Amino acid sequence: MSVRRVTGIETEYGISVPGDPGANPMLLSAQVVNAYAAPATGSLSSSLGATARPGGSRTRWDYEDEAPLRDARGFEVARRAADPSQLTDAPLRGDGRGKGAGADGEPGERGRWTVPAASDVVSAETEDPSTANVVLTNGARLYVDHAHPEYSSPEVLTPRDAVRWDRAGERIVLESLRRIAATPGLAPVTLYKNNTDGKGASYGTHENYLMARATPFGDVVRHLVPFFVSRQVVAGAGRVGIGQDSATAGYQLSQRADFFETEVGLETTMKRPIVNTRDEPHATAEKYRRLHVIVGDATFCEVATLLKVGTTSLVLSMVEAGALAGGPAGDLQLSDPVRALHEVSHDPSLRQLVRLRDGRRLSALDLQWAYFEAARAFVDERTGADTDADTVEVLQRWESVLTRLGTDVSSCARELDWVAKLQLLEAYRSRDGLAWDSARLKAVDLQWSDVRPEKGLYLRLEQRGRVERLVAEEDVRRAVEHPPEDTRAYFRGECLARYGPRVAAASWDSVIFDVAGRGALQRVPTLEPLRGTREHVGALLDRCPTAEDLVAALTGG
């Protein structure tokens, strides 16, 4: 029993050009992606780079095995009936006028995009900015998703590694901004690690957890809905304004909560569900299910990210084992989950009670304590004194945070985003007599999430040692270029680093080579996420100086 599980975090960044509210976000997002992919020469030179192929082309994303319309409830949505935003197995194209480019709730159309003259950053190859897509040597993917630059981390096994490669994504997009700023003719771009523009648009931070397919999906829904509703008290990013358009004055726990409208569903950009049913495992389908979690926030605080991933992994382990049928977390189903999600988020005092189906009324802290007690009992029973250090850390930090949230919320300001942000906002309110409907507070909220260290308020707190770091900065810097060594991301990233010009395409579950002497592209499947590790293939890669050697070794020819 462990928190060790194949996981990953996808982050869509908010994007703007200061002083130009009409700037085309699809084109801006393409600039961000292509700036990082540009050869490290001239004004774009940097120690951080992405693999480019000869002639400026890059390894493309392989969409062949993607199936975004397959539903975990046992059916598949007809393609003609799907909203264009659901067709993530092909690039989403705008209409040339920027329609639908500002939010993941307003997708563009699939058609021709007319782009202004190519610059040093937006190359002729990516004339359609929606196709900007880079596979990185750290095993991650950087691309344009619904008019936002998205960083999808490589697969990792531990919550600490989830933190490490998530923070690496911040460094990667920051490097893109610096390259754009150094390119003549391009306006500087600003990126925000947040989930709403405060005017009615929302963009996602998604988590992915590989779990056993044998687990009935109904059990997943039953036990995860109350957990996700209450998880905000630990993993919320905090937000000024209530309602999708922030029209009501106030402060709430979550950036995303107000944008959810249903309990279960396939969509991610409209009628957003607390539990998403997309059945796209990116792994051996008979063995695995990928739980695609869209209800979370983008968190900077490393403890919050660790707990977001670690506690969810623990709850999933209990669901897989059927260990939640009784005990303290046995029957926590909510009478109205969507309403409860909103109510919990809207009450930073943490006193709001939500109604359960059995008539009880509990707070979000009560619900979290029930899951914690169940997890601690489960771990003690299964592994006891042999529990691994990662699991012990998650349990200890979970208990500590819940205890202090119940007695002194401000004591969690070093660990939880929503508390740290609230403390900063209250300082402004006290000093300047500001009400919650103040435009200055909304500006502070936005500046909190700016990824530039000299501007972002969270990052300035971090520089001053006022938030807790779990991962050394040198480890984050290394994660910018290097993949995890204990998942298949190692094989993907190392192939790009060693044989980049010969890697024609890649995806989560394949690497495709274009090598001399072969009449067709050579696909190497990577369907098992725990193979392709350094232990598994490191020596093989070291023996193969060229892609031709590697393909020959793999095919026996």
pLDDT digits (tens, 9 = 90+) for 389-440: 999 999 999 999 999 999 999 999 999 999 999 999 999 999 999 999 999 9
Q: So what's the pLDDT on residue 43?
A: 35
Separation between Cα atoms, residue 334 and residue 316, nearest integer Å: 19
Check pLDDT > 80 for residue 103: no
At 120, is the pLDDT very low, low, confident or very high (cuts 50, 70, 90)? very low
Residue 149 CA to residue 29 CA, distance in Å, equals: 5
pLDDT at 88: 60
Residues in the chain: 557
What tens digit of pLDDT does each residue of 341-400 get? 999 999 999 999 999 999 999 999 999 999 999 999 999 999 999 999 999 999 999 999
Question: Is position 145 annotated as part of the catalytic site?
Answer: yes
Q: What is the pLDDT of residue 80?
A: 59
pLDDT in tens, 207-258: 999 999 999 999 999 999 999 999 999 999 999 999 999 999 999 999 999 9
Helix axes 473-481, 159-181, angle to 10 degrees: 70
Residue 331's pLDDT band, with cuts at 50, 70 and 90, is confident
**pLDDT grade, residue 325 (50/70/90)?**
confident
Mean pLDDT of the chain: 87
Model confidence pLDDT, tens digit, residues 528-550: 999 999 999 999 999 999 999 99
d(CA 136, CA 114): 27
pLDDT for 27-50, tens place per residue? 999 999 999 988 643 333 333 333
| Residues pairing with 239 in the sheet | 252
Weakest-pLDDT range from 113-122, 435-444, 502-511, 517-526: 113-122
CB of 233 closer than 8 Å to CB of 364: yes
Q: Give the residue ranges of DSSP H helices in 130-243.
A: 159-181, 217-235
pLDDT at 91 (0 to 100): 54
Instruction: Print the SS3 string covering 20-45.
Output: CCCCCHHHHHHHHHHHHHCCCCHHHC
Do 266 and 69 form a contact (C-beta atoms < 8 A)? yes
CA–CA separation, 298 vs 192, rounded Å? 10
What are the angstrom distances between the C-alpha of 292 and each of 48, 62, 104, 273, 416?
30, 20, 16, 11, 23
Residue 117: pLDDT band with limits 50, 70, 90: very low
Catalytic residue among 145, 166, 347, 417: 145
Domains, in order of start, for the chain: 9-406 (3.30.590), 485-555 (no CATH)
Say which residue, 441 or 101, is predicted with more confidence.
441
Residue 73: what pLDDT?
65
Is the model's pLDDT at 74 over the cut of 90?
A: no
**What's the pLDDT score for residue 149?**
96
The single residue listed with the structure tokens 């044998």 is: 214
Assign 52 a pLDDT band (cuts: 50, 70, 90): very low
How much is the pLDDT for 278? 83
C-alpha distance from residue 125 to each of 60, 132, 146, 428, 500 (Å): 11, 9, 20, 48, 17
d(CA 47, CA 41): 10
Neighbours of 407 (CB within 10 A): 7
pLDDT range class, residue 302, cuts 50, 70, 90: very high
Residues in CB range of 142: below 8 A, 6 or more apart = 33, 36, 37, 50, 133, 134, 136, 149, 150, 151, 152, 172, 173
| pLDDT band per the 50, 70, 90 thresholds, residue 55 | very low
**Helix, strand, coil in percent for the chain, rounding step 5:** 40, 15, 45
Burial of 175 (0-12, 13-18, 19+ CB in 10 A): buried
